[in-house]
Structure 1
């Protein structure tokens, strides 16, 4: 597992919000909802210089919407969506989150047990988790990553 580091300035995600209180499989239901209505937010998506969408995000937060880690890593909020322009407004039925600037470590999700392995890496290296972990899918490659905030900027 290759762990890399980056800084990501504050960014906007517009998506479908749910919580662990919604029951088993809620994340899959959020993605199904977001994907089946994607045309409603497509024009708001941030694009690179060649016109490609820059990111698909599964953003997580504690129940206070303060982007703290999930309670016991098992209870919190999830937003399944797309990175959008800063001035974008969420259409009816969608939710806009503004994710703060962080320094992250991140890794490609090549295996199912990435989360516990990176949490152990953080513990072994005395690196505190500074916020909730986020899922990222690169639209150009289809590869999935997990972003672990280690310092709020």
Structure 2
């Protein structure tokens, strides 16, 4: 299974935020995506775009309930949204998170392979390479890839700004 290591500077996501039981995430997270997708026009002007005018990325950002971007425990928070310019202001009904800088172990998957690849990363790849998960895992949806494909971003080292 292919994994790559990526350093990503702090970035900003505006989206629809929810909180729920980790064990029930497949029940409450899809509703957030539905709401975000139906109302995307409210934030489309804030979305970060590349030089060709294409969206940079869609994120399923995660955090602990205190919003310190720690790993989920019994509950977690999830933000279904898109990457925006850092100085963007979230419209009413939307939430803005600034994700800290990390070094990530990144693995591509889809909805059918999500669970197996997540387990592989947690139980094999990360410990076998002497890494630790140091924060919440994020989902990145590249607008140029097939619908349903995503990359899991496992934070393995916090990068502090100088």
Interval of TM-score (by shorter of Structure 1 and Structure 2): over 0.9
Question: Shift of the alpha carbon at 1:70?
Answer: 0.5
The alignment status of 1:118 with 2:124, answered yes or no, reads no
Which residue of the other structure, out of 17, 25, 28, is the alignment partner of 1:26? Answer: 28
Q: 1: CA distance between counterparts of 2:82 and 2:127?
A: 31
Question: Shift of the alpha carbon at 1:20?
Answer: 1.5
Question: Shift of the alpha carbon at 1:82?
Answer: 0.3
TM-score, normalised with respect to structure 2: 0.89
Cα-Cα RMSD: 1.4
What is the CA deviation profile of residues 14-66 of structure 1, one whole-angstrom value per residue up to 9, with x for unaligned ones? 00000114955110000000000000000000000110000100000011100
Which residue of the other structure, out of 138, 148, 154, is the alignment partner of 1:148? Answer: 154
Q: Is the 8 A contact 1:63 1:76 kept in 2?
A: yes
Which residue of the other structure, out of 125, 138, 144, is the alignment partner of 1:134? Answer: 138
Structure 2 gap ranges (5+): none
Q: 2: CA distance between counterparts of 1:95 and 1:2?
A: 33
3-state DSSP of counterpart to 2:105: strand
Residues 116-125 or 27-36, more deviating: 116-125
Question: Shift of the alpha carbon at 1:124?
Answer: 2.5
Q: 1:49 — aligned with what?
A: 51
Question: Shift of the alpha carbon at 1:125?
Answer: 2.5
Q: 2: CA distance between counterparts of 1:114 and 1:84?
A: 28
Structure 1 gap ranges (5+): none
TM-score, normalised with respect to structure 1: 0.94
The count of corresponding residues between Structure 1 and Structure 2 is 151
